[in-house]
Amino acid sequence: MSNQESKKALVLVADGSEEMETVISVDVLRRAQIDVTVVGITLQNENYAKCSRGVKIVPDQSLSNISNFDIYDVIVIPGGLNGAKTISSNSEVQKLLASMHRAGKFVAAICAGPLAIKSANINKGGKITSHPIVKADLENEYSYQEDRVLVDNKVITSRGPGTAFLFALTIVELLLGEEKRNEVSNPMIISSIL
């Protein structure tokens, strides 16, 4: 597949983002040859995001350095409560999420990440899931479910680190099909039941 034809993803990361959810998303999508850009949001140290359990991840770009958002097929919001709060309260992120959703792109969020779906006013009334810790923030404005991964109106949501492989593989399947999903999944020695 040439670079022109590659699917493209943004993965946001802030201080306090859940590092496993961030890295599993980036890694699994890149195993599927999706062109992933890791974007730092409001970092205290401009060189890295200090994640929820102290892992320091160097982003590829800042939001202000990306000139054209139309090329991206999916945007991914990891959890980690503090990171998700930073991301969901950022007005540039809110505009970007709403714009991508209107354009028919996938918006994907895991754990506490779905807080950003709500703050961007996306798919209100639709089906959503999240980590139990933010259920109360979502259940009044969405049809709250407890599926490990849920897809509704191109909004993909999921529950926590233990569902992050399933979440990332679902994104791969939606963008590139079941064959690519299996091609990526098998060498990772994923359990038959995730």
- Residues near a second copy (CB under 8 A) are 18-20, 23-24, 26-28, 30-31, 36, 38, 47-48, 51-58, 131, 148, 159-163, 165, 185, 187-194
Q: How many CB atoms lie within 10 A of CB 133?
A: 13
131 is catalytic: yes
Nearer to a second copy, 74 or 120 (CB): 74
Question: In angstroms, what is the minimal distance from the CB of 11 to a second copy?
Answer: 10
Give the whole-angstrom CA distance, residue 31 versus residue 56: 22
Give the whole-angstrom CA distance, residue 48 versus residue 77: 17
Nearer to a second copy, 101 or 130 (CB): 130
Nearer to a second copy, 18 or 73 (CB): 18
Nearer to a second copy, 48 or 144 (CB): 48
Amino acid making up residue 117 = I
Give the whole-angstrom CA distance, residue 29 versus residue 172: 6
Which residues are bridge partners to 37 per DSSP?
10
Amino acid making up residue 22 = T
DSSP-assigned letters across all residues of 137-169: HHTTTSEE---SEEEETTEEEE-SGGGHHHHHH
Question: In angstroms, what is the minimal distance from the CB of 102 to a second copy?
Answer: 30
Question: In angstroms, what is the minimal distance from the CB of 15 to a second copy?
Answer: 13
Give the whole-angstrom CA distance, residue 127 versus residue 153: 9
Catalytic position from the list 111, 134, 155, 166: 111
Question: In angstroms, what is the minimal distance from the CB of 64 to a second copy?
Answer: 20
Give the whole-angstrom CA distance, residue 121 versus residue 117: 6
Residues known to be catalytic: 111, 131
